[in-house]
Amino acid sequence: MTTSAASHKRYFFEKFGLSERLLERCLGEALSAGGDYADLYFESVSATSIGIDESLVKSASQGVSAGCGIRVVSGERTGYAYTDNLSAERLLHAARTAALIASGPAKQPVAGFTETQSPNLYPIPAADLDSDLSTKLDLVMRADRAARAYDARIKQVRASYSDELKRILIAASDGTYASDTQPLARLNVFVLANDGQQTTRGTAGGGGRVDISYFLAEKTPEHFANEAARTSILQLGAVAAPAGEMEVVLGPGWPGVLLHEAVGHGLEADFNRKKTSAFAGLIGRQVASSKVTVVDNGTMPSRRGSLNIDDEGSPTQETVLIENGILKGYLSDKLSARLMNMPHTGNGRRESYQQIPMPRMTNTYMLSGDDAPEDILRSVKRGLYAVNFGGGSVDITSGKFVFSASEAYLIEDGKITAPVRDATLIGNGPEALKYVSMVGNDLQLDEGVGTCGKDGQSVPVGVGMPTIKLDRMTVGGTGN
């Protein structure tokens, strides 16, 4: 572990001419007008993406960026400045700009850094990250061929592979000193099917904090291509989704986006500190059926939402949000943990050095229950079975959330019947999970496609869920 931490640091020191002495000077400058806390977040990202379209490799791009964000916290106030020029002069200037938030006598950072000890959730040999372009190219070409071979009605195929390597180094006035190298890779397939009468779409994708070998061994281009093609062909025969309140069964895996929207955001500590969340003040109260236990877990190996350390240099952890239906805790960063006098859960995240960190989810999922998925479906007289979703959204304050089904079926007399067209499901966060009457024994995590947006900042996340049944939920179709 220590060797890898040392190598993350060495990267910044050698490439950008940083030194521990300079970090200390910047922190000292940041606290030159007082304040409770200051931190420096250095980031260097290199990203590659390659895309096939109409069986031609039409795009290939690479990008590099580097910068540093400097934050000064004084009570509830935050001053922030960033620079993409990592010279000592510019860093000190940014520190002085961030320092403007405070107005008092200078404070001293604690003497000496303590390096954060972190696990190695995504051990990837550095050499593998630079795997040659031809291997990446081969992935998208395989996806293109597989999708086209799936069915003659597949008329358009686009596939893309993108990966990035993000190196971060964090130093803070409380002595925090942490670094990490975070890989992230993703393969995506988009297809259009046409049967001469109508056109439908299908998408599939996945990845995680993995290298290219994951797509050669575990989840192959053919897997994603077949999945995208299957969905688009299925949609050719879809009927109008029903409209109104009914029983809804959600399949395992990505439908866990329900949890992300219905409860996850509402449990981020900043909203609760400000009492702007529909969940504010509900700790210890029943917010879901007793069958429901939901956790956020940033420590799962190789997953898209996982992190060795968060963007404030703290180790991530598993945090129980809801246990047997009772609201247990919030997701916090340093600021909210301190101001709320609550446990710090290591959920401080940011999109880039240009942004201020805030409490964010990592991998959020519901634990398995006892029910067999077949029994769950069998119990429904008339309802909707939704197995895949586009995405979702929530109004934190009112608690109203939506998520849009991209693959769903009617359930009639306990049997899955016709596939239905895209439809949005809507509910109220603090209420919706009270209607969970059955929880399957088949917890699955999503394949690694989630990107969560909050206040204009996007971060990669994971979700998961077993099959569940909600006794009532509103389905926004147009049919009867």
Partner 1 sequence: MTQSLELTTDLQQLATDIVTKARKAGATDAEVVIREGDEFSTAVRLGEVETLKESGSRGVGLRVFVGQRVASTSSSDFTPEGIEHLISGALALARVTSEDPFAGLADTGEFGQLDHDLDLYHEDVYSLPTAERIDFARRCEAAAMSADTRIQNSDGGSFDAATGRKVFANSRGFVGEYRSSYCSVSTSPIAMSRNGEMQRDYWYSAARTLAKLDSPESVGAEAARRTLRRLDGRRVPTQRAPIVFAPEIARSLIGAIFDAANGDSIYRGASFFTGKLGEQVAAESINVIDDGTIVGGHGSSPFDGEGLPTRRKVIVENGVLKTYLLNTYTARKLNMQSTGNAVRGLAGNPGIGNGNLYLEAGSFSPEEILREIKTGFYVTELLGQGVNMVTGDYSRGASGLWIENGELTYPVQEVTVAGNLKEMFRNITAIGNDLVFRGSVTSPTLRIDGMTIAGE
Q: Is 81 in the site for partner 1 (CB under 8 A)?
A: yes
Question: Using CB under 8 A, which of 7, 19, 59, 108 touches partner 1?
Answer: 59
Q: Which amino acid is at 382?
A: R
Say which DSSP state 57 is in.
Answer: E
SS3 175: coil
* Contact (Cβ atoms closer than 8 angstroms) between residue 457 and residue 351: yes
Q: Is 153 in the site for partner 1 (CB under 8 A)?
A: no
Half-sphere exposure of 312 (CA within 13 A, CB side): 26
Return the range that interacts with partner 1 (CB under 8 A); candidates 211-219, 235-243, 314-322, 326-334: 235-243
For partner 1, the closer CB: 121 or 262: 262
156-215 binders of partner 1 (CB under 8 A):
156, 192, 194, 198-201
Q: Is 415 in the site for partner 1 (CB under 8 A)?
A: no
Cα–Cα distance list, 346 to 309, 332, 384 (Å): 8, 7, 37
417-436 binders of partner 1 (CB under 8 A):
421-424, 426-428
Burial class for 145, CB neighbours closer than 10 Å (0-12, 13-18, 19+) = middle
Return the range that interacts with partner 1 (CB under 8 A); candidates 70-78, 146-154, 180-188, 213-221: 70-78
Residue 254's closest CA among 14, 58, 4, 465?
465
The pair of structure tokens assigned to 275 is: 């009492």
- Min dist CB 255 to partner 1, Å, is 15
For partner 1, the closer CB: 361 or 475: 475
Q: Is 392 in the site for partner 1 (CB under 8 A)?
A: yes
Q: Is 340 in the site for partner 1 (CB under 8 A)?
A: no
Q: Is 320 in the site for partner 1 (CB under 8 A)?
A: no
Question: Using CB under 8 A, which of 34, 175, 390, 414 touches partner 1?
Answer: 390
Return the range that interacts with partner 1 (CB under 8 A); candidates 23-31, 109-117, 240-248, 373-381: 240-248
Q: Is 400 in the site for partner 1 (CB under 8 A)?
A: yes
Burial class for 61, CB neighbours closer than 10 Å (0-12, 13-18, 19+) = exposed
Q: Is 64 in the site for partner 1 (CB under 8 A)?
A: yes
Residues 6+ apart with CB under 8 A from 253: 444, 445, 446, 447, 464, 465
- Counting residues that bind partner 1 (by CB under 8 A) gives 75
Q: Is 474 in the site for partner 1 (CB under 8 A)?
A: yes
For partner 1, the closer CB: 91 or 309: 91
- Min dist CB 180 to partner 1, Å, is 20
Question: Using CB under 8 A, which of 63, 104, 123, 237 touches partner 1?
Answer: 63
Residue that has been written with the tokens 């990837």 in this structure: 124
Strands 382-394 and 468-476 come out as unpaired
Q: Is 13 in the site for partner 1 (CB under 8 A)?
A: no
Burial class for 134, CB neighbours closer than 10 Å (0-12, 13-18, 19+) = exposed
- With both helix axes pointing from N to C terminus, report the angle between 133-150 and 221-236 in degrees, rounded to the nearest 10: 30
Residue 119's closest CA among 327, 269, 306?
306
85-104 binders of partner 1 (CB under 8 A):
94, 97, 100-101
SS3 436: strand
Q: Is 410 in the site for partner 1 (CB under 8 A)?
A: no
Q: Is 80 in the site for partner 1 (CB under 8 A)?
A: yes
Q: Is 402 in the site for partner 1 (CB under 8 A)?
A: yes
- Min dist CB 302 to partner 1, Å, is 26
For partner 1, the closer CB: 19 or 61: 61
Question: Using CB under 8 A, which of 220, 354, 379, 437 touches partner 1?
Answer: 354
Number of H helices, E strands in the chain: 12, 23
Burial class for 36, CB neighbours closer than 10 Å (0-12, 13-18, 19+) = middle
